[in-house]
Amino acid sequence: MTSDDSSRAATLNDVAARARVSAATASKALNGRSDVAAATRTRVLAAAEELGFTPNAVARGLTAGRTSTVGLLTSDLDGRFVLPILMGAEDAFGAGRIDVFLCDARGDAVREQHHLRALLSRRVDGIIVVGDRTDPRPSLGQAIPAPVVYAYAPSDDPRDLSLTPDNVEGGRAAIRHLLTCGRRRVAHIGGDPSYAAARDRVLGAELELQDAGLSFVAPPMLGEWSEHWGRAAARLLFDRHPDIDAVFCGSDQIARGVLDAARDLGRDVPREVSVIGFDNWVVLADNAQPRLTTVGADFESLGRAAAQHLFRAFDDNAAESGVIHTPVQLFVRESTIPVS
Amino acid sequence: MTSDDSSRAATLNDVAARARVSAATASKALNGRSDVAAATRTRVLAAAEELGFTPNAVARGLTAGRTSTVGLLTSDLDGRFVLPILMGAEDAFGAGRIDVFLCDARGDAVREQHHLRALLSRRVDGIIVVGDRTDPRPSLGQAIPAPVVYAYAPSDDPRDLSLTPDNVEGGRAAIRHLLTCGRRRVAHIGGDPSYAAARDRVLGAELELQDAGLSFVAPPMLGEWSEHWGRAAARLLFDRHPDIDAVFCGSDQIARGVLDAARDLGRDVPREVSVIGFDNWVVLADNAQPRLTTVGADFESLGRAAAQHLFRAFDDNAAESGVIHTPVQLFVRESTIPVS
DNA sequence: CTGTTAGCGCATTCAA
DNA sequence: TTGAATGCGCTAACAG
């Protein structure tokens, strides 16, 4: 543990004194304003350097009105979404220019209110709200004195701006890939049907099949977001429909379960049956055997987009609104292969 | 997206004016100071309520000298450690009383310096540095005008205070459990030997075996932190040493690979062979088949401890130092079982 | 009990 | 080009 070495941090006045100028001049010099003599500037910069001067962002925030600070209010307990989003946002803001308060409400509305108050009292310039599912979540309301963007979980108020991955398109993309590989007898094993994500993915898949004049060879099986469910459902599926040649899974976890079951039953993936997942959860997808083809949202660019929208709201006072569906992407690995 | 409804946030002066008192009195009333008349207080509180007054923490921070914020400087890319640590810290601080700046340096020293400057310019009251491996990392130095605690990755400077999980004890605990289950012919498949974590876990295991008058039946196999490695190593191991009755794995990922290999080779886990992992990475451990017994650190309490040490440093000016090894815990699931 | 005064550290007038 | 004065919003010290 480290503590104060000098009695107290150097202030602008200290720098000014040492450079034998006024605080005002020192301020201008340090902030690169033009109306200051070159010689003076060097002197001030030298003084600042020697004193290890760090401008006090708190004081600056007081006058400037903006604090160069944003709040990230999350209820994403395990951080699969919030961390990439945070990194994307940091990126877009430019590292170090803006700092991010990360607050975890843990799915508790009261705690969320507490954190919100705290963020507002700290005069954050904007807030990004990150939910842990794509179902609409309660709006923070319109009475917030800072721009707000909802990420992953959209707000239930259309006046808010929300960014959420396009799961319907994701479902389409998955099916499109399977069809491209020459598969025709496709089944679906998905997650908890109380999740919009589970339903949207099936919907997209059904639409894409329909466009090709096809449909699922078995009714979609929705259950829970776990490997266990994937295994159990796959066993049933392979038993009842031995002729399926592809399984579209609602998540990578489920797909891992399906791969397991297929191996137990002696079904060759990807030759006999292709398996595709969803999420691109790399630890899971990359370590599967065979490595898992999957569709996934790019959370970093989602974070970047959220940050850019906040920026826009800082500058223009244009309040955008509505739900924006962000693109998803196909990651081809070895669990799908063209029929040979 | 939401924007200003009223022209600007209400200030203490607005409240004071509305309550027909001075700003000082309003301040006292709002902060629950005793020297203010009950009637006045109610009037002030009412005014504040009506105006939707939110105290400006920035201004407060300017005078108070403390900002009630802390910085969490991390290089833990995927957040397995940093998020639980953050939650533990939030917990210890009391939700909303203190807010946390989360900065991701992405393993880049330059970016880390940038973030550090930014945090200091925001006058955070303390800093928690979270690394992504337990090898000592470069100290931020002693010249930092705020208390610093290193979590997970210890500082290489003994004058700093570091909290890091006790991997040696973890290795011991794993072996102790296997021995308790009646296993005697134990092997080890571990992670990347360039990691202190990999080496410490083996070390602990060897010590515990030694205490029981035993040793590994095969030289420990260290490779990488992946399921693939676990699978490959296990195949080799089962082939060369068909008589082993337990495998201690350096991580849950590796253990997953070992379970896979065992199943492929027709070895019954846990009856014939017990398998124990490390990390208690719940998504992996809980979805394994059978569910995976494992040893793991409790990162939330690590975060709590870090926060408490910062607290102590705020109050006393006592600068603690040294490396504290935090406890690890055994999580028994179904991949280990007493010999019957 | 209440109000006046002063100052936290900085940036922005506006004079000089 | 420089500096003196002013204020951001709040709290602490003191006087009334």
Q: At what angle do helices B82-93 and B299-315 cross, to 10 degrees?
A: 50
Percent of chain B clearing pLDDT 90 (strictly above) = 86
The predicted-structure confidence for B218-240, as pLDDT tens digits, reads as follows 999 999 999 999 999 999 999 99
Residue B285 is given by DSSP the state H
DSSP per-residue codes, B132-150 = SSSS-B----S--SS-EEE
What is the arithmetic mean of pLDDT over A236-261? 97
DSSP character string of A285-303 = HHHSSSPPEEEEE-HHHHH
The C-alpha R_g of chain B, in whole angstroms, comes to: 26
Select from A62, A314, A2 the least CA-distant residue to B120: A2
A159-214 residue pLDDT tens? 999 999 999 999 999 999 999 999 999 999 999 999 999 999 999 999 999 999 99
DSSP for A179-235 reads HHTT--SEEEEES-TTSHHHHHHHHHHHHHHHHTT---SS--EE--SSHHHHHHHHH
pLDDT of residue A4: 39
Counted residue by residue, chain B has a size of 340
pLDDT for A7: 58
Q: pLDDT tier at A81 (50, 70, 90 boundaries)? A: very high
The pLDDT, as a whole number, for residue B79 is 83
Q: Residues in chain A, how many?
A: 340
Compute φ and ψ for A279, nearest 5 degrees.
Answer: 120, -30
The pLDDT of residue B4 is: 39
For the residues of A39-60, what is the DSSP string, one character each? HHHHHHHHHHHHHT----HHHH
Residue range B145-172: mean pLDDT, rounded: 97
Q: What contacts A164, CB < 8 A, 6 or more positions away?
A: A134, A150, A151, A152, A153, A154, A323, A324, A325, A326
Q: pLDDT at residue B46 above 60?
A: yes
Average pLDDT over residues A137-145: 94
- Mention every residue, 6+ apart, whose C-beta is less than 8 A from residue A169: A204, A325, A327, A328
Residue A5 has pLDDT above 50, yes or no: no
Quote the pLDDT of residue B7: 59
The answer, yes or no, to whether the previous bond of B270 is cis (omega within 30 of 0) is yes
pLDDT at A8: 74
Its sign, for the CA torsion B269, B270, B273, B275, is positive
| Residue B278 near residue B252, CB atoms below 8 Å | yes
Four-CA torsion A228, A232, A234, A240, nearest 10 degrees: -170
Q: How many Cβ contacts (< 8 angstroms) between chains A and B?
A: 197
SS3 of B103, please?
A: strand
User: Is the minimum CB–CB distance between A94 and chain B shorter than 8 Å?
Assistant: no
pLDDT at A108 over 60: yes
CB proximity under 8 Å: A 164-193 to B: none
Closest CA to A293 of A304, A305, A279, A306: A279
B13 CB below 7 A from strand D atoms: yes
Tell me how far CA of residue A93 lies from CA of A309, B141, B335, in angstroms. 11, 28, 47
B83 interfaces chain A, CB cutoff of 8 Å: yes
**Least reliable range by pLDDT among A184-193, B75-84, B161-170:** B75-84
Q: Give the pLDDT band of residue B252 (cuts 50, 70, 90).
A: very high
* pLDDT of residue B338 exceeding 90: no
SS3 breakdown of chain B: % helix, strand, coil, rounded to 5? 40, 20, 40
- Tell if the CB–CB gap between A61 and B57 is shorter than 8 Å: no
B318 CB and strand D closer than 7 A = no
The DSSP string of A65-121 is: S--SEEEEEE--TT-TTHHHHHHHHHHHH-BTTBEEEEEE-TT-HHHHHHHHHHHHH
Q: Nearest-CA distance from B115 to chain A in Å?
A: 5
Give CA B164 to chain center in angstroms.
9
Residue of A1, A85, A103, A113 to mutate, testing the B interface (most B Cβ within 10 Å of its Cβ): A1
Q: Closest Cα partner for A330 from A217, A169, A99, A112? A: A169
pLDDT the model gives residue B77: 77
H-only helix segments in chain B: 12-19, 23-30, 38-51, 57-64, 82-93, 109-121, 167-180, 196-211, 227-240, 252-264, 282-287, 299-315
Three-state DSSP state, A323: strand
Burial class of residue B179 in the structure, from the number of CB atoms within 10 Å of its CB (0-12 exposed, 13-18 middle, 19+ buried) = middle
Run of H or E residues at A14: helix A12-19
Question: From the C1' of D13, which residue's alpha carbon is nearest?
Answer: B24
Averaged confidence pLDDT in chain B: 93
Alpha carbon distance A338, A246 (integer Å): 11
B1 pLDDT band, cuts 50/70/90, is: very low
The A residues from 10 to 39 touching B (CB cutoff 8 Å) are none
Burial B273-312 (b: 16+ CB within 10 A, else e): bbbbbbbbbebbbbbbbbebbbbbbbbbbbbbbbbebbbb
Here the tokens at position B170 are: 């973890």
For residue B225 the two structure tokens come to 């932190």
In whole angstroms, what is the distance from residue B302 CA to residue B87 CA? 10
* Chain D: bases < 7 Å from a protein Cβ: 1-5, 7-13
What is the pLDDT averaged over residues B200-228? Answer: 98
Residue B248 CB partners (closer than 8 Å, separation 6+) = B171, B174, B175, B178, B186, B187, B188, B189, B205, B276
Q: What is the pairing mode between strands B274-278 and B246-249?
A: parallel
- Which nucleotides of strand C lie under 7 Å from a protein CB? 1-13
Quote the percentage of chain B above a pLDDT of 70.
97
**What is the residue type of B150?**
Y
Q: Is B123 helix (H, G, I), strand (E, B) or coil?
A: coil
* pLDDT tens per residue, range A32-41: 888 889 999 9
The answer, yes or no, to whether residue A96 has pLDDT greater than 80, is no
Residue nearest to nucleotide C1 (CA to C1'): B36
Per-residue confidence band for A74, with pLDDT thresholds at 50, 70 and 90 = very high
Say which residues have a Cβ less than 8 Å from residue A282's Cβ, sequence separation at least 6: none
Q: Residue A62 pLDDT > 90, yes or no?
A: yes
Cβ–Cβ under 8 Å, residues A204 and A172: yes
Helix (H) or strand (E) holding A257: helix A252-264
At residue B286, the pLDDT reads 96
Q: Is the peptide bond before B290 cis (omega within 30 degrees of 0)?
A: yes
Q: Is residue B248 over pLDDT 60?
A: yes
The mean pLDDT value for B9-20 works out to: 93
- For the ranges B3-17, B22-36, B166-180, B220-234, which has the lowest average pLDDT? B3-17
Tell me A269's DSSP state.
T
Least CB–CB distance from A289: residue in B3, B114, B260: B260
B313 Rama sector, left if φ>0, alpha if ψ -120 to 50, beta otherwise: alpha
Domains in chain B with CATH codes? 3-55 (1.10.260.40), 69-165+299-326 (3.40.50.2300), 167-297 (3.40.50.2300)
Residue A168 confidence (pLDDT)? 98
Confidence of residue A229 (pLDDT cuts 50, 70, 90): very high
Confidence of residue A3 (pLDDT cuts 50, 70, 90): very low
- Least confident range from B209-218, B246-255, B309-318: namely B309-318
- Residue-wise pLDDT tens digits, A18-34: 999 999 999 999 998 88
Mean pLDDT confidence for B116-144: 95
**pLDDT at residue B94 greater than cutoff 90:** no
Provide, in whole angstroms, the distance separating residue A60's CA from nucleotide D7's C1': 13
Cis peptide before B193 (omega within 30 of 0): no
Q: Which pLDDT score, from 0 to 100, does residue B337 have?
A: 85
Given this model, what pLDDT does residue A340 score?
65
pLDDT digits (tens, 9 = 90+) for B260-272: 999 999 999 999 9
For range A333-337, the mean pLDDT: 95
Which of A90, A142, A253 is facing B2, going by the closest CB pair? A142
pTM for the predicted model, two decimal places: 0.94
pLDDT of residue A266: 95
Q: What is the DSSP letter of A35?
A: S
Question: If you average pLDDT over residues B14-40, what whole number do you get?
Answer: 92
Distance CA(A36)–CA(B214), nearest Å, equals: 77
Give residue A152's region: left, alpha or beta (phi > 0; psi -120 to 50). Answer: left
- Residue A285 has phi, psi (to 5 degrees) of -65, -40
> Searching chain A, which residue's CA lies closest to the CA of residue B113?
A96
pLDDT given for residue B314 in this prediction: 81
Tokens found for residue B134: 């337990």
- Mean confidence (pLDDT) of chain A: 93
